[in-house]
Structure 1
Amino acid sequence: MPHTPTKSRSHALPLIALAGVAFGLAFLFRDHLTFDALAANRDAFVAFRDQNFALTALIFMAIYAGIVAFSLPGATVATLTGGFLFSTFPGVVFNVAGATVGATLLFVAARWGLGDWLSSKMDTGSERIRKVKAGIDDNQWSMLFFIRLVPVVPFFVANLLPALLGVPFSRFVISTAIGIIPGALVYTSVGAGLGVVFARGEVPDLGVIFEPHILLPLIGLAALSLVPVLLKVVREGRAK
């Protein structure tokens, strides 16, 4: 037990380093990960893509993964860029791939940091804490899809929380890759129409995901992901 404080501090080092790098990159690229920067450099991006499609796709996914891994502002702009450069398809594939890789890197860093230590503390904590942890563990798939499908849950929170709660690696990756598809598809399709938006000198409507015809289906999918939880509650209630 005497080594626990030192061990917990050493486990926190990856997260501290990640936060420091993220802060530095956010400051360094604060004027580059914006819609204005995309609009100003769109012709150069398109020309490079036309000459080097495969390389452009790889560079794009690597940059997107870095933005997500370091939780930098600009993920939405990156998604729009994916649609602008590669159209809705295969743009949505590149967007989902980049976001999933970035989210996985952040998940691993958080797990390597405090995730396992915090999970063990919850397992050995008070009875109430253990019950909360057990409830989450029993419904992990439903909860993971729920936080991905609800657009009001910040993306970095949905990446960090599972790591801190001891969610298995494979389960996190699968739920992330599938759960972000609806939102990614919406914003990728918006990005695919940026050519017209640029020509008009306008800005894209980023609030489109909150339009009823888009938001309601997303809420429906989120509610559907909770059906197993509700069925389990009903079964347990009847058993009593």
Structure 2
Amino acid sequence: MKRFKADSQMSETTQSQRNGFLRHVPLMVIFAVAVFGFFVLGDYLTFETLRDNREALLGWRDTHYWSMATGFMVIYIVIVAFSLPGAAVASMTGGFLFGLYAGTVFNVVSATIGASAIFLAASWGLGASLTARLESSEGAVKKLKEGLRENEISVLFLLRLVPVVPFFVANLVPALVGVKFRNFLLTTALGIIPGGIVYTWIGVGLGGVFDRGENPDVSLLWEPFVIGPILGLCFLAALPIFIKSIQGKKDA
């Protein structure tokens, strides 16, 4: 009887270890593909590639619009989901091929789906164990966790709106600290719209840029008439955090 219990416990332990490993497989695959893409695909997902193939791409778009749109979105989703180089190029390509309105929609939807994929992979694997540790933590870590939970949507919006936060960081960090997926999805879909419009807008003018033999000027993002409204949105997203902080100090 004792031996049966020991064998049963050993079997459960082995099964638990196997399940724990399997939970990390999606994130491991993403990391491996990201490393591969960084060293191998970086030379292909460029403006030069787009410039050299623009006539063929435009011709295919004119004759097979929805096939081109679907293929473009699939590629964009893969780029974001696996954190491959070329996300900015993809965003501008959306504007170049489909114009400002359709291009923005295709870009935002694709980026949201790709971001959701990497969020779910991270939260299912490493994020699950890290979240469990945060739940049982005390002291400063506990206060940080509670502060994040109370201001989850505001913090997520800030991650999306602040231009200096890399996109893959804004995808991974929320998953690792256990934020709710519905909040992540909402803030991603809405928070990337301002930046998405800017990059798509730049992409609309790529044809003229290529004709002049120049490179796209992404410094437009930092022009006052562009960065000003984005910083204003950042302020609005951070406002609830400041208000709660002030109220907390008064209550104390």
TM-score interval (norm. to shorter): over 0.9
| Conserved? CA contact 2:134–2:142, under 8 Å | yes
Could you tell me which residue of structure 2 aligns to residue 87 of structure 1? Answer: 99
* 3-state DSSP of counterpart to 1:32: coil
Q: CA RMSD in A?
A: 1.8
* More moved, 216-225 vs 15-24: 15-24
Aligned mates of 1:2, 1:220 — CA distance in 2: 53
Alignment of 1:1-240 (within 5 A): 9-240=21-252
Post-superposition CA distance 1:28-51 (Å, at most 9, x none): 422220010000000000000001
Structure 2: how far apart are the matches of 1:34 and 1:86? 18
- Judge conservation of contact 2:160–2:191 (CA < 8 Å) in 1: yes
Structure 1 unaligned spans of 5+? none
- Aligned-partner Cα distance in 1 for 2:17–2:64: 51
Deviates more, 1:14-23 or 1:176-185: 14-23
SS where residue 78 of structure 2 aligns? helix
Q: Is the 8 A contact 2:91 2:196 kept in 1?
A: yes
Contact 2:159–2:165 at 8 Å: present in 1 too? Answer: yes
Does the aligned pair in 1 maintain the 2:157–2:187 contact within 8 Å?
A: yes
Task: Measure, in 2, the Cα distance between the counterparts of 1:8 and 1:206.
Answer: 43
User: C-alpha displacement at 1:4, in angstroms?
Assistant: 8.2
Contact kept in structure 1, 2:37 and 2:85, CA below 8 Å: no
Letter in 1 for 2:43: D
TM-score, normalising length from structure 2?
Answer: 0.90
Distance 2:30 2:42 in 1: 17
Aligned length: 240
Structure 2 counterpart SS, 1:87: helix
SS of residue paired to 2:28? helix
Amino-acid identity (%): 46
TM-score for the superposition, normalised by structure 1: 0.94
Matches of 2:210 and 2:105, distance apart in 1? 24
Rounded Cα–Cα distance in structure 1 between residues aligned with 2:18 and 2:134: 19
Q: Deviations over 1:73-128 (max 9, x none)?
A: 10000001000000111100000011001000110110111112101101112322
Residue 194 of structure 2 aligns to a residue whose secondary structure is helix
Larger of the two Rg values belongs to structure: 2
